Chains A and B, each alone.
Chain A
Amino acid sequence: MTHGQKTTIEFNDKIVRQFMLASLIWGVVGMLVGVLIATQLNFWQANFGQAWLSFGRLRPLHTNAVIFAFVGNMMFAGIYYSTQRLVKARLASDFLSQLHFWGWQLIIVAAAITLPLGLTRGKEYAELIWPIDIAVAVIWVVFAVNFFWTLARRHEKSLYVAIWFYIATIITVAMLYIVNHLSIPTSLTHSYPIFGGVQDGLVQWWYGHNAVAFFLTTPILGIMYYFLPKAAERPVYSYRLSVIHFWSLVFLYIWAGPHHLLNTALPNWLQLLGMTFSLMLWAPSWGGMLNGLLTLRGAWGKLRTDPVIKFFAAGVTFYGMATFEGPLLSIKSVNALAHYTDWIIAHVHAGALGWNGFMAAGMFYWLVPRLWNKPLHSTALANLHFWIGLTGILLYVSAMWASGITQGLMLNATAEGGTILKYPNFLETINAIRPLMLLRVVGGGLYLAGFLIMGWNVWRSIRGAAAVNGRMEVYVEAPVPGETLGAGSTFLNAPVVFTVLVLLGSCVWMFTSGVLNIIGLVATMFCVLLAIGHFESRGKAWADWYDKLLVSALPFTVLTFLAVVIGGLIQIIPMITIDRRLQTEDRVARTYTPLELAGRDLYIREGCYNCHSQMIRTLVPDVMRYGDYSRLGESIWDHPFQWGSKRTGPDLARVGGKYNEAWHYDHLENPRNISTGSNMPAYTWLMQQNTDYASLSAKIRVQRMLGVPFPSWSPAMIDTLAKEQAKDIAKELKTQGRYVDPDREVVAVIAYLQSLGKTWEPTGAPAAQP
Chain B
Amino acid sequence: MPPSPPPPDDPGIKLREHTYDGIQEYDQRLPNWWLYTLYGAIVFWVVYWFAHMLSGLATTDGAQVDAAMTRIAAAKMASSIDVSNDGKFWEMSRNPVFVEAGKQTFQSNCVPCHLPSMRGKSENPAAVGPDLTDTAWIHGGTPKEIYVTVSKGVPTKGMLSWEPVLGQKKTVEVVAYLLSHHQPGETITVQLSN
Contacts and interface: CB of A to CB of B under 8 A. Distances in A.
Interface of A: 82, 85-86, 88, 156, 158, 160-161, 226, 229-230, 233-242, 244, 248, 263, 268-269, 272, 275-277, 279-280, 282-284, 286-287, 290, 298, 415-421, 424-425, 510, 513, 517, 618-620, 623-624, 629, 657-660, 662-663, 666, 674-676, 736, 767-770
A583 B27 CA distance: 50
Contacts of B49: 272, 276, 510
B167 A419 contact: yes
Given A241-B28, A620-B68, A767-B62, A282 B22 contact: no
Contact of A298 (B6, B25, B48): B6
Given A236-B23, A236-B26, A659-B158, A286 B37 contact: yes
A282 B37 contact: yes
Nearest to A276: B45
A662 to B, nearest CB: 6
A666 B112 CA distance: 12
29 contacts: A160-B20, A161-B25, A226-B21, A234-B2, A235-B5, A236-B24, A239-B25, A240-B27, A241-B28, A242-B25, A263-B61, A272-B49, A272-B52, A276-B48, A286-B34, A298-B6, A416-B169, A418-B72, A425-B109, A517-B54, A620-B65, A624-B72, A629-B65, A660-B155, A660-B158, A663-B128, A736-B158, A768-B60, A770-B58
A770 B6 CA distance: 59
Nearest to A543: B27
Interface in B1-31: 2-3, 5-6, 15-16, 18, 20-31
A770 B60 contact: yes
B192 interface: no
B48 A272 contact: yes
Nearest to B60: A768
A658 B75 contact: no
A283 B158 contact: no
B60 A238 contact: no
Nearest to B165: A424
Contacts of A768: 60-63
B76 interface: yes
Contacts of B27: 238-240
B37 A420 contact: no
Given A226-B23, A416-B167, A619-B65, A283 B53 contact: no
Nearest to B48: A276
B101 interface: no
Given A242-B25, A269-B53, A419-B75, A290 B59 contact: no
Contacts of B189: none
Contact of B160 (A161, A279, A290, A658): A658
B34 A623 contact: no
Contacts of A279: 41, 44-45
B165 to A, nearest CB: 4
Interface in B37-90: 37-38, 41-42, 44-45, 48-49, 52-54, 56, 58-66, 68-69, 72, 75-76, 79
Given A234-B5, A619-B65, A659-B155, A283 B38 contact: yes
Given A86-B21, A272-B48, 9 more contacts: A160-B20, A235-B5, A238-B29, A244-B30, A263-B61, A287-B30, A425-B108, A662-B158, A663-B158
B26 A237 contact: yes
Contacts of A618: 60-62, 64-65
A663 B155 CA distance: 10
Contacts, number: 172
Contact of B29 (A240, A242, A770): A240
A417 B155 contact: no
Contacts of A85: 21
Contacts of A238: 25-30
Given A298-B6, A618-B61, A674 B75 contact: no
Given A618-B64, A620-B68, A237 B45 contact: no
List 10 tightest A-B contacts by C-beta distance, closest first: A420-B167, A618-B61, A283-B38, A233-B2, A235-B24, A276-B45, A160-B20, A768-B62, A238-B28, A239-B25
B155 to A, nearest CB: 6
Contacts of B31: 290
Contacts of A86: 20-21
Contacts of B5: 234-235, 298
B54 to A, nearest CB: 7
Contacts of B165: 420-421, 424-425
B130 to A, nearest CB: 13
A86 B21 CA distance: 6
A418 B75 contact: yes
A355 to B, nearest CB: 19
Contact of A160 (B15, B23, B52, B155): B23
A658 B7 CA distance: 71
A247 B190 CA distance: 76
A236 B27 CA distance: 9
A240 B27 CA distance: 6
B17 to A, nearest CB: 11
Contacts of A619: 65
A276 B44 contact: yes
A81 to B, nearest CB: 11
Interface in B152-175: 155-158, 160, 165-167, 169-170
Nearest to B77: A419
Contact of A513 (B21, B30, B54, B75): B54
B52 A283 contact: no
Contacts of B41: 276, 279-280, 282-283
Nearest to A660: B158
B95 to A, nearest CB: 19
Contacts of A242: 25
Contact of A158 (B18, B53, B64): B18
B162 to A, nearest CB: 9
A290 B25 CA distance: 14
Nearest to A227: B23
Contacts of B108: 425
A301 B94 CA distance: 77
A404 to B, nearest CB: 22
Nearest to A160: B20
A219 to B, nearest CB: 17
Nearest to A421: B165
B13 to A, nearest CB: 9
Contacts of A623: 65, 69
A662 B128 contact: yes
B109 A657 contact: no
Which of B34, B44, B166, B169 has the most A CB atoms < 10 Å from its CB? B34
A602 B79 CA distance: 46
Nearest to A279: B41
A419 B80 CA distance: 11
Which of B41, B111, B156, B169 has the most A CB atoms < 10 Å from its CB? B41
A248 to B, nearest CB: 7
Nearest to B38: A283
Which of A86, A236, A269, A736 has the most B CB atoms < 10 Å from its CB? A236
